[in-house]
């Protein structure tokens, strides 16, 4: 997957769009795939850094070592790092040239007068959120860093997101402004692995915290500035249509009370799942939970899928050779594909009895959201797509030029109260994109090898000075002539 152009531009020392004209692999043999070689480019546009008409970029000799891997004559976009007075690039920082050009122009201006329908998390420099209307137009931005987990609050006015290992921000649906920020201490673990807003403006909130190195995870509750442990050895916190549930390391599934975090076990444990859960996916109506787990420490990977009836507390189990991501076809059918043993996926009942072969919808493998009309919105690379009501397949709603992350549906009440975003993103680059300079950078081959930092008139002055000194030395009389008396 190519890098996020917005995040890359913010991090890179230099960036340009150009065409590869030559690769210099040196005179001797390449000793290893990581050996640096020189790539020469004609520069179409400098986006960041002091990059001139032609530029040489050092990169590994082979794509397997993340070396630049484009054929001579190819136009592409590149993000660079500066090291020891040279530019360095790699395969992972090679982008579609038009995508990079678009990103360097900055974030699109928000459309005014249209309410938001979706909130999308994305890494866009100092912006971390965007609001899209029903037509896919950007109507506002929210302050970053972008949250990799988000959760809507029960007040229908705010939502929370994790922006670092222990930082949770609170945003308003009405203007995407940050209204609070919490620093959770290390109680229960060093970093966040699950998040659920359980009260107005994130007070309280529930989170899974993980203590690295000992594979220990804990359910904590944060309220009024205090982090407290609710229960230890909790692997997952899952929000369902019927309220949150938690999964213990011993396989006990619990109903979680929103405000207090109190756990109520649902049936018997399904068995040890510590560090083994691949996915925990609720059915659309919240009545069932499909759990996929793999024991990677067994002689052969031991995969299992469980379906838990969250109303009755009963469970069903079946075995697989691979890690499986359960996909719900509807409230009563779940799709499972064991790619290690078959090219075909099967549809199962909630009792894990085989119904037949099938294929889930495109959106089923994504973190999709469904609005009140039944329209389904789901992300893909550089795009948000929609399956309209009555349609069987999705279509592209909007092109984003950045990777969409977590999504939230804006509550209808918040849409009617939309005020416009209060956050203005800073430019990703110091100056707007420009075409190349008139002369190449120092040390880079080109039609004019004069160092552009040395004005031409200084060179002429230097030459004249050297010539004058030489003339004076030639005209100086010899020692014998100097002592001879004049007649």
pLDDT above 70 (res 65): yes
Contact predicate 99/76, CB 8 Å: no
What is the distance between the alpha carbons of residues 336 and 290, in angstroms, rounded to a whole number?
10
89: buried, middle or exposed (CB in 10 Å: 19+, 13-18, 0-12)?
buried
71-97 per-position pLDDT tens digit: 999 999 999 999 988 999 999 899 999
112: buried, middle or exposed (CB in 10 Å: 19+, 13-18, 0-12)?
exposed
What is the value of pTM for the model shown?
0.79
The continuous run of DSSP H or E covering 462 comes out as: helix 456-475
What is the distance between the alpha carbons of residues 106 and 271, in angstroms, rounded to a whole number?
51
- Give the pLDDT of residue 309: 97
pLDDT above 60 (res 407): yes
Please report, for the chain, the start and end positions of each structural domain, with discontinuous segments joined by +.
1-106+427-473
Q: Tell me the pLDDT band of 460, cut-offs 50, 70 and 90.
A: very low
* Mean pLDDT (the chain, rounded): 85
Torsions phi, psi of 60, nearest 5? Answer: -60, 155
Greater pLDDT, 94 or 434: 94
- Give the pLDDT of residue 121: 96
The size of the chain, in residues, is 487
Give every strand in the sheet of 302-309, ordered side by side: 277-282, 288-295, 302-309, 315-320
- Give the pLDDT of residue 167: 93
Burial letters 50-80, b for 16+ CB under 10 A, else e: ebbbbbbbbbbbbeeebbbebeeeeebbbbb
132-145 per-position pLDDT tens digit: 999 999 999 999 89
What is the distance between the alpha carbons of residues 159 and 201, in angstroms, rounded to a whole number?
7
Closest CA to 294 of 307, 281, 305: 305
Q: Tell me the pLDDT band of 324, cut-offs 50, 70 and 90.
A: confident
Q: Give the residue-averaged pLDDT of 135-160.
A: 95
* DSSP bridge partners of 220: 207, 229
Alpha helices in 47-195 (DSSP H): 97-104
Contact predicate 219/246, CB 8 Å: yes
Q: Give the residue-averaged pLDDT of 43-70.
A: 91
Is 2.40.50.120 the CATH classification of the domain at 1-106+427-473?
A: yes
């Amino acid at each position: 997957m190519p890098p996020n152009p917005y995040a890359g531009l913010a991090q890179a020392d230099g960036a340009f769009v150009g065409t590869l004209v030559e690769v210099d692999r040196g005179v001797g043999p390449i000793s290893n795939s990581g050996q640096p070689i020189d790539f020469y480019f004609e520069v179409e546009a400098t986006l960041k850094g002091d990059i001139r008409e032609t530029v040489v970029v050092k990169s590994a000799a082979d794509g397997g070592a993340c070396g630049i891997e484009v054929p001579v004559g190819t136009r592409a976009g590149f993000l660079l790092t500066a090291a020891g007075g040279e530019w360095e690039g790699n395969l992972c920082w090679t982008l579609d040239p038009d995508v990079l050009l678009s990103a360097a122009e900055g974030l699109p201006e928000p459309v005014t007068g249209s309410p938001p329908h979706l909130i999308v998390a994305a890494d866009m420099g100092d912006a971390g959120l965007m609001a899209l209307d029903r037509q896919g137009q950007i109507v506002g931005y929210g302050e970053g860093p972008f949250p990799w987990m988000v959760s809507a609050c029960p007040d229908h006015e705010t939502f929370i997101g994790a922006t670092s290992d222990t930082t949770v921000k609170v945003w308003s649906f009405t203007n995407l402004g940050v209204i609070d920020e919490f620093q959770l201490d290390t109680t229960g673990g060093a970093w966040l692995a699950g998040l659920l807003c359980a009260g107005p403006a994130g007070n309280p909130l529930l989170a899974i915290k993980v203590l690295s190195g000992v594979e220990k995870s804990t359910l904590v509750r944060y309220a009024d500035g205090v982090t407290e442990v609710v229960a230890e050895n909790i692997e997952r916190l899952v929000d369902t249509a019927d309220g949150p549930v938690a999964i213990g390391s011993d396989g006990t599934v619990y109903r979680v009370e929103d405000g207090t975090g109190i756990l109520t076990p649902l049936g018997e444990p399904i068995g040890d799942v510590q560090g083994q859960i691949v996915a925990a996916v609720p059915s659309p109506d919240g009545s069932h939970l499909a759990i996929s787990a793999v024991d990677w420490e067994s002689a052969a990977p031991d995969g299992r899928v469980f379906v838990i009836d969250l109303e009755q507390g009963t469970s069903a189990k079946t075995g697989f050779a691979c890690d499986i991501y359960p996909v719900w076809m509807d409230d009563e059918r779940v799709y499972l594909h064991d790619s290690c043993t078959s090219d075909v996926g099967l549809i199962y009942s909630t009792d894990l009895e085989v119904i037949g072969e099938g294929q889930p919808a495109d959106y089923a493998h994504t973190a999709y959201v469904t609005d009140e009309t039944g329209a389904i919105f789901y992300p893909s690379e550089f795009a948000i797509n929609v399956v309209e009501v009555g349609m069987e397949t999705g279509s592209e709603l909007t092109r984003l030029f950045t990777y969409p992350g977590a999504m939230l549906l804006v509550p209808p009440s918040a849409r009617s109260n939309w005020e416009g975003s209060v956050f203005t993103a800073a430019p990703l680059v110091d100056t707007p994109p420009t075409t190349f300079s008139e002369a190449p950078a120092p040390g880079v081959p080109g039609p004019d090898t004069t160092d552009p930092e040395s004005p031409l008139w200084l060179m002429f002055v230097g030459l004249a000075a050297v010539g004058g000194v030489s003339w004076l030395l030639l005209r100086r009389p010899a020692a014998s002539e100097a002592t001879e008396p004049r007649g």
